[in-house]
Amino acid sequence: MNDNVKLKWKEKFFYGLGDLSANILLAIFSFYLLFFMVSIVGLKPALASLVFLVAKIWDAITDVWMGRISDNTKSKFGKRRVYMIFGAVPFGLMFIILWLCPFSVEMSQFVKFVYYLMAYCLFNTTYTIVYVPYNALTANITDDYDQRSSLTTVRIVLANVGMILGTALFGLFAGDNTVFSNLFVDAGYTRFEAIKNSYLVSSAIFGLLASATMLISGLNVKERDTGSEEKNPYGLFRTLSQFIKMKEFRYTTAYYLTSMLGFDILLALFMFYIQDSLGYAPDGILSMIFIAIPLLVAMATSVVWDKLSAKFEKHRVYLFSVILTSIGLIIALLVPSFKGEMYQSVSASMGELLSSRTSIVLTLAVFVVGCGMSGIQILPYASIPDIVELDEYTYGIRREGAYYGVQSFIYKLSNGIALALVSLLLQLFQYKETPFLDEGTGEVVYSFVQSQMAQDAVRIIFCALPVAIFVISIICAYKANMGRNRFNFIKEELAKRERTVT
């Protein structure tokens, strides 16, 4: 690869569109899927945790194979782009089936469990087909240490645009008392049918949007020559063994993994925190504002983290991003909740809600979290492709696809376990699923005040657990020992080898 190639902004933008596409859908199912399955479909938290765990195990396994498949692919569209181009449409369509609710509230828990397990596995498969090759493209586009940080910065900015589209806008369209549900109610549908249909229509719109942007990205990015076209001569288990033997791989993976897990827990529990700990309506405009604030702040501050990482070592800059995020979460732990009946905020005016002590302190918390969040997103991502050169230096072969497949396998397996444990903790602290049939009235109940123990559990898990995980990620980042000097040394040695061969 030519080290003198300076990436144009246009190329960075089109590459970033791929993450915008993926994060539209990632944000939606990260913020809403657990909430949808428990609070709309009525699946018990313990069964929901099993859905996440089994589906993530399946997802993780397919990631490893997809990485190896893309490494050994030859086509006129390249090794990676071909999967983005031809996988874009199935990727969006399979997302839609996650939000089908083809049964009544009274349907058995087993039927609901089987349906959402199958739907989630199907979606994860198509997600893997496009996203593992997309991830591996980072190492194919450039091998410059700072260019990778710049490329990742643009990518993360557009990823956050996708997060905003997938969280704030989706929340305005899907759910109870939203744009689409009100239209369905006006058309004569029952409240339950209106909510189900609003989720389905919203998922169709965002699924098609994600397909279109992934296709545009795949058609416009450049896949540069990264050396020999030789296929990976090592089998799956030998490849895994070789990766694990590299200390830098182990710690860089743990660094990336823990940063992502902390972030995933925040996404999965945010709606529960808003609804059950603070007392906001989860599908109200104000809730969408509090989702959008940290994402907008993260976008605005991403250039700061990029500039700092170009001047200082990435792991040292990462330390400060974690400190900022942790301060924000500590503030979130102390946010006072609305007093009285849950959902009383529905009857209050927007001005009253915004001027409340709860909203003021929460705004401060999410603002501070947003300042640090972009660093947590950018810096570990920018460090991952550096191991590709280390692998080539150690074993004499480039295996971007296999490497990213293994990374994704480890992350998704851990992610499934973590989200399953979080769901089980909710069940342990007596969090009750909704909707359910009120035995006295025979009506479907969608919301009620959770027990104080359940409210406190949501708050503590949401605020404290990510901080603990981020602290672990700092330790791993320092132990990875993949700073600029180490990376440049490896590149120089690889260049010497190439000159010797030629």
- Domain harbouring 478, CATH code: 1.20.1250.20
For residue 1, tell me if it sits in a domain.
no
Give pLDDT, residue 410: 77
pLDDT bin (cut points 50, 70, 90) of residue 342 is very low
434 has a pLDDT exceeding 80: no
pLDDT tens digits, 437-455: 555 655 555 555 677 888 8
Hey, is 413 helix, strand or coil? helix
Domain assignment of residue 2, yes or no = no
User: How far, in Å, CA of 432 to CA of 463, rounded?
Assistant: 21
Q: Per-residue pLDDT for 468 more than 60? A: yes
Confidence label for 100 from pLDDT (cuts 50, 70 and 90): confident
* Phi, psi at 446, each rounded to 5°: -105, -25
Residues near 144 by beta carbon (within 8 Å), at least 6 away in sequence: 3
> For all residues of the chain together, what is the average pLDDT?
81
Question: What is the mean predicted confidence (pLDDT) over 302-306?
Answer: 84
Percent of the chain scoring above 70 in pLDDT: 87
Q: Mean pLDDT over residues 116-143, rounded?
A: 86
Residue 258 lies in a domain: yes
Identity of residue 371: C
Number of CB atoms found within 10 A of residue 267's CB:
19
Residues 6+ apart with CB under 8 A from 396: none
pLDDT score, position 129: 92
Q: Which contacts qualify for 308-315: CB closer than 8 Å, 24 or more apart?
A: 309/146, 309/149, 309/378, 309/379, 309/382, 310/146, 310/149, 310/150, 313/483, 313/484, 314/149, 314/379, 314/382, 314/383, 314/477, 314/483, 315/255, 315/379, 315/383, 315/474, 315/477, 315/478, 315/480, 315/483
In whole angstroms, give the CA distance from residue 306 to residue 382: 10
Residue type, 108: S
CA 204 – CA 421 distance, rounded (Å)? 30
Instruction: Count the neighbouring beta carbons within 10 Å of the beta carbon of residue 460.
Output: 14
Distances 489 to 3, 141, 152, 386, 479 between C-alpha atoms, Å: 14, 20, 22, 12, 18
Residue 433 in this model has a pLDDT that exceeds 70? no
Burial 179-216 (b: 16+ CB within 10 A, else e): ebbeebbeeebebbbbbbbbbbbbbeebbebbbebbbb
Within a domain: residue 156? yes
Domain membership flag for residue 326: yes
Single out the residue of 205, 59, 69, 213 nearest to residue 127, CA to CA.
Answer: 59
pLDDT top residue among 382 and 113: 113
User: Residue 374 burial by CB count (10 A; 0-12/13-18/19+): exposed, middle or buried?
Assistant: buried
- When pLDDT is averaged across residues 244-257 and rounded to a whole number, the result is 86
- Identify whether 5 is part of a domain: no
- The per-residue pLDDT for range 189-231, each reduced to its tens digit, is 877 788 888 999 999 999 999 999 999 999 998 876 544 455 5
Lowest-pLDDT choice from 18-22, 224-228, 462-466? 224-228
Q: Is residue 171 part of a domain?
A: yes
Encoding tokens for residue 217? 């990205």
Beta bridge mates, 436: 445
Q: Which of 113, 155, 110, 123 is nearest to 59 (CA)?
A: 123
Q: What is the predicted pLDDT for the residue at 63?
A: 79
Taking alpha carbons only, the member of 170, 175, 177 closest to residue 198 is 175
227 belongs to a structural domain? no
pLDDT in tens, 31-83: 788 778 887 888 888 888 888 888 878 887 887 788 778 877 888 888 888 99
| Domains of the chain: total | 1
Domain hosting residue 208, numbered range: 11-221+232-501
